[in-house]
Amino acid sequence: MTVVEARETAAPSWRGGFGRLWAAAVVSRFGDSLRIAALPLLATSLTDDPVLVALVTAFGYLPWLVFGLIGGAVADRVDQRRAMWAVDLVRGALLAAFAVAVALGYASIGLLIVLAFVLATLQTLFDNAATALLPDLVAPEALGSANARLQTGQMLVSSFLATPLVPVLLAVGVAMPYAADAVTYLLAAALVVSLRPAPRERAARPGGRTLRADIAEGLRVLRQDRALRGLCLSATLCNIGVGGLIATLVLHVTGWLGADETAYALCLSAYGVGSVVGGFCANRIGRRLGRVRSVFAAGAVQIVPLLAIGAIRSVWAVVLALGVFGFMGMVWNVNEVTLMQQRSPADALGRISAAFRTLSLGGTPLGALLAGAVAAAWGLNTPALLAAALFVLATAVLVPALKEPGSSPVSSPEVSRPEVTRP
């Protein structure tokens, strides 16, 4: 793989393709946040069985483990723009039908589980296609800035617009959050339809090639790149820790700290604020330190707030720690995605993106189960300490990748996208 050094100083133009992709992503995230906040409330109104309520969330993750790699392989085979707007049209139709069912009183736990599974299955194709499409819409030197603006915009509408709006919509009608989500999907589809990405040179695909062969090839490319391989393993370890922290945070705040639900909401808000601020700074940090070093630094710094959460019995200490944790988490996310887009061959980017998401989302429920066992055995503060230990391992895994191109503080790699040698 040929690596060419190129300074990353450009910002993407809001005019044209990137502006519309950003608007589509932000509108879609707004609707998703409405649904995600409202769905657990609907589930608890239908049953008091915690297992059934948990199944709604579990089936929202399961498709990534079952279909994630397939979604990445399909995203590399098709026109990503068409795949995205087609998926959004289907998701909009599904949410509209679900909103009607809820309004008429036909909602059930079984219906919620099926909806969560189908939407997440479609998302495996949409998210991988979106990651693969972005390099066609912005110049290579603007990828970092584009990713930062995308993720910051999504976090802003999710934390500060969508979540506070849910009680207002529910006061109007129990089906309103889902109807609003359906509308956002249709708006996002209309924005994506209008995109006209620059044509990209792609290697010819041999006829009769199977999805299984495509998936195996994508995993091989990921395994052979030391920086991407280390980043993927590191992200998996981190997500095991984060999954455990998220699953037990409410118990940590209300149990170990003895605080109330208001304090828990304050902790979540601190994380959201830190993430938004981190989004504004992430690309600048990436340009200054280099992408690999920025991810390494973010993971190393996050160890400190995790230790503080697990060791200091103070709500305000947890609020401050989660703000720092969210800030550095956004620095990690922006530079991780940018590095993946820069180093991946064009015709394997969807599959490499799928491998990252499959492993990361697979680590989240594993971390939740592990943290529950640890909290029951050794105390409600121990999941945070476990997460800190996992982040130590994650940063250690990244050490060999620091020697790779892209870790330089003055430049980041622009990878030529040659034809991938196929077996």
**Domains recognised in the chain with CATH numbers:** 3-143+156-195 (1.20.1250), 215-404 (1.20.1250.20)
Alpha-carbon distances of 200 from 137, 292, 345, 347, 360, rounded to whole Å: 10, 26, 11, 10, 28
Contact partners, residue 264, CB within 8 Å, separation at least 6? 249, 250, 253, 254
Do residues 278 and 330 lie in contact, with contact meaning Cβ atoms separated by under 8 Å? Answer: yes
C-alpha triplet 95, 100, 102: angle, nearest 5°: 90
124, pLDDT greater than 60: yes
Most distant CA pair in the chain: distance in Å? Answer: 63
pLDDT band at residue 313, thresholds of 50, 70 and 90?
A: very high
**What percent of the chain is modeled with pLDDT above 90?**
29
What whole-number distance in Å separates Cα of residue 21 and Cα of residue 282? 20
Sole residue written with tokens 């922290």? 245
- Other CB atoms within 10 A of residue 105 CB: 8
206, pLDDT greater than 60: no
Region 392-412: mean pLDDT is: 74
407, pLDDT greater than 60: no
Region 159-174: mean pLDDT is: 84
Q: In terms of pLDDT, which residue wins out, 224 or 297?
A: 297
The SS3 of residue 413 is: strand
Region 157-166: mean pLDDT is: 81
What whole-number distance in Å separates Cα of residue 91 and Cα of residue 94? 5
The SS3 of residue 415 is: strand
Region 170-176: mean pLDDT is: 91
98, pLDDT greater than 80: yes
Question: Which pair of structure tokens corresponds to residue 102?
Answer: 């809820």
Residue 3: strand pairing partners: 415
Q: In terms of pLDDT, which residue wins out, 361 or 313?
A: 313
242, pLDDT greater than 70: yes
- For 279-288, write each residue's pLDDT tens digit: 889 989 998 9
